[in-house]
Amino acid sequence: MLCKGIDRRRLLLSMGAAAMTGGLLSSTRLASAQQGNNEPVKLLLGSHMEYLQTLAPDYAAAHGPTPEIELVTTPDLPVKLNSTLIARRSPGDAVFVTAALMSGLAEKGWLTDMTDLIEQELLPNGLIENSLTAANYQGRYFGVPVTIGAPIMHWNKALFEARGLDTEAPNNWHATPGSWDTLVEYAKEINDPDNNIYGITDNWGGVGSMFTFGSLLQGGGGRFLDDDLQPVMNSEAGVEALSRMVDLLHLHKVIDPAAVTYTWVFDASPAYLAGQRGIFFTWPFIAGIANGSDDSAIQGQSGYAPNPALETSASIDGSEFLSIPVFADNPEGGRQFIKLATSLDKQILQGSTSPWAPSVDAALSHPDVSGNLPFAEVIRQSYQYPVDGGYSPDRERWQEILTGQLSRAFAREVAPKEALDEAVKLINASRT
């Protein structure tokens, strides 16, 4: 509840001024620290980031102190970051930030601008540029990707072969404009609903439909948001993308009809792993499960490649980042840790010993990494195409609005254009 005499506008303005002041103080502290120090450093890392935790001894050997590490689960991360930063305290000198959280934290003035480090050092050293889409807010970078990944295409070679289809053809679809139509033709050949065989599976329930819609949207030259972060997904490219998804369901009838109820990868994966689905659009890690798990009926028979193309191939970035809060006690320590984590030798170590793909190009193509992550080259290729996820401060809200309208189109309650026009209308209304 606001105190008497202080309206909401004045409170927000004062908070914004405080954030800017914090940023100026942090910049001064960072500049001073860059003269060199061996002060204690604290890290807030994801509980799944063992590959970063193992770097603590290397940091100590290079800089003196052993980092103090606090772990947080991804679901708990928003509360952890917002509750500490709003109190003008930092949970670490380098902190784990997801793509979805980045622009909102940057908008509040809570993250240090890292553009100089990225443009002057990391990009020249091979950081993959398209992995920075979520870190870019108003033309500046506020985080460094340490691991990357985007949905790709997987296919069941056994089903392809049984239907007399070329089992290796999908490897080149990403580089072939118009290959989405070829994919549909393959799916028709595979389809056998009477025996629970479908050409395609995916998870289009909840917000899951964002990924395939976004891939087709960008593949046709469209975008979720324009440069001013205004919604433009109802463009001709957007209408075509959604129309193609609806056609899979109702015209060609080649996608598992239950796909509209699957809200995550593990809803859709059982039928694919059982050998009953031809093509699966999902995250790269499924390749390892499909080809190596004892529970898979298609061991050694699951292909993987970047998504097929309309005008071009495309996907949605799922990178994870490290950022430096403006309230960090030792921002230079955070910067030093980020540089260590993204150095080529540590990125190769990460990719060769963990399931998390590195963000440096030379590491992704290193033989030790491809030996551990056979799909590393496919990830690298995927990031040569558009992977923008429309990351804005209100992305979570507009994503729910959009996917709600996509679901209405899937159910044929409205036409694709009407669904997308309504999505844009509701998104704009939510911002007033």
**pLDDT exceeds cutoff 50 at 14:** no
Q: Tokens 């087709």 identify what position?
A: 216
Residue 130 carries which DSSP code? G
- Spatial CA neighbour of 350 closest among 373, 326, 375, 328: 373
Between 8 and 429, whose confidence is greater?
429
The pLDDT, as a whole number, for residue 38 is 87
Distance from C-alpha of 198 to C-alpha of 190, rounded to nearest angstrom: 7
Distance from C-alpha of 277 to C-alpha of 280, rounded to nearest angstrom: 7
Sheet holding 277-282, edge to edge: 198-201, 277-282, 152-156, 302-305
pLDDT tier, 37 (very low <50, low <70, confident <90, very high otherwise)? low
The pLDDT, as a whole number, for residue 9 is 34
SS3 195: helix
- Spatial CA neighbour of 42 closest among 61, 72, 68: 68
Exposed, middle or buried: residue 135 (CB in 10 Å: 0-12, 13-18, 19+)? Answer: buried
Residue 231 carries which DSSP code? B
**pLDDT exceeds cutoff 60 at 30:** no
Distance from C-alpha of 252 to C-alpha of 181, rounded to nearest angstrom: 11
**pLDDT exceeds cutoff 50 at 5:** no
Mean pLDDT of 197-205: 98
Distance from C-alpha of 159 to C-alpha of 138, rounded to nearest angstrom: 47
pLDDT tier, 3 (very low <50, low <70, confident <90, very high otherwise)? very low
Give percent of the chain with pLDDT exceeding 70. Answer: 91
**Whole-angstrom Cα Rg for the chain:** 23
**pLDDT exceeds cutoff 80 at 131:** yes
Residue 87 carries which DSSP code? T
Q: List, for residues 384-424, the tens digit of each pLDDT value.
A: 999 999 999 999 999 999 999 999 999 999 999 999 999 99
**Mean of per-residue pLDDT scores for the chain:** 92
Task: Kindly give the interhelix angle for 236-250 and 395-410, rounded to the nearest 10 degrees.
Answer: 50
The pLDDT, as a whole number, for residue 251 is 98
Mean pLDDT of 245-274: 97
98 strand-pairing partners:
320
**Structural domains for the chain:** 36-149+318-382 (3.40.190.10), 152-315+394-430 (3.40.190.10)
Q: List, for residues 290-302, the tens digit of each pLDDT value.
A: 999 999 999 999 9
Tally of residues, the chain: 432
Distance from C-alpha of 54 to C-alpha of 45, rounded to nearest angstrom: 12
Distance from C-alpha of 393 to C-alpha of 33, rounded to nearest angstrom: 30
Mean pLDDT of 187-192: 98
Mean pLDDT of 265-275: 97
Residue pair 142/135 in contact by the 8 Å Cβ criterion: yes
SS3 1: coil
Mean pLDDT of 317-334: 97
**pLDDT exceeds cutoff 50 at 24:** no
Q: Which amino acid is at 169?
A: A
Sheet holding 320-323, edge to edge: 68-72, 42-46, 94-98, 320-323, 144-147
Question: From the centroid of its chain, how far is CA 48?
Answer: 16
Tokens at 293, concatenated: 């798990």
Between 27 and 325, whose confidence is greater?
325
Tell me which H or E stretch contains 80: helix 77-85
Which residues contact residue 73 at a Cβ distance below 8 angstroms, ignoring those fewer than 6 apart?
46, 47
**pLDDT exceeds cutoff 90 at 21:** no
pTM: predicted TM-score of the whole model, two decimal places: 0.89
- The span from the first CA to the last CA of the chain, in angstroms, equals 21
The pLDDT, as a whole number, for residue 209 is 97
In sequence order, what DSSP letters do the residues of 250-316 get, joined into one string?
HTS--B-GGGGG--SHHHHHHHHHTT-EEEEEE-TTHHHHHHH-TT-TTTT-EEEESPP-SSS----
